[in-house]
Amino acid sequence: MDRRSVLFAMAGLVSAVPLAHAQPAFDLGSPDQFRLSELMGGEFAIQTSRLALERSRSPAIRNFAQLEINEQTAVAAALGATPGNVQPRPDQMAILQQLQGLSPGRAFDRAYVQGQIAGHEELLALNTAYAQGGSDPRSRAVATVAVPSIQTHLSMLSSLRRGGHV
Structure confidence by residue, pLDDT tens digits, 30-55: 889 999 999 999 999 999 999 999 99
Distance CA 75, CA 83 (A): 9
Measured at the alpha carbon of residue 56, what is the angle toward residues 55 and 57, in degrees to the nearest 5? Answer: 120
For residue range 77-136, what is the model confidence (pLDDT) as tens digits? 999 999 989 999 999 999 999 999 999 999 999 999 999 999 999 999 999 999 999 999
- pLDDT given at position 28: 58
Query: Model's pTM, two decimal places?
Result: 0.81
Distance CA 124, CA 38 (A): 10
**Residue 86: DSSP 8-state:** S
Lowest-pLDDT range of 20-29, 86-95, 107-116, 157-166: 20-29
| Total Cβ atoms within 10 A of residue 126 | 23
- pLDDT given at position 30: 80
- pLDDT given at position 44: 95
- pLDDT given at position 4: 42
Q: What confidence category does residue 17 fall into, taking pLDDT thresholds of 50, 70 and 90? A: very low
Cα separation values, 87 from 28, 39, 165, Å: 19, 8, 29
For the chain, the straight-line distance linking the first and the last C-alpha, in angstroms and rounded, comes to 31
Residue 11 is which amino acid? A
Q: Is the confidence at residue 61, as pLDDT, over 70?
A: yes
Q: Is the confidence at residue 7, as pLDDT, over 50?
A: no
Q: What is the dihedral of CA 83, 157, 60, 107, to 10 degrees?
A: 90
Measured at the alpha carbon of residue 55, what is the angle toward residues 48 and 84, in degrees to the nearest 5? Answer: 30
- pLDDT given at position 34: 93
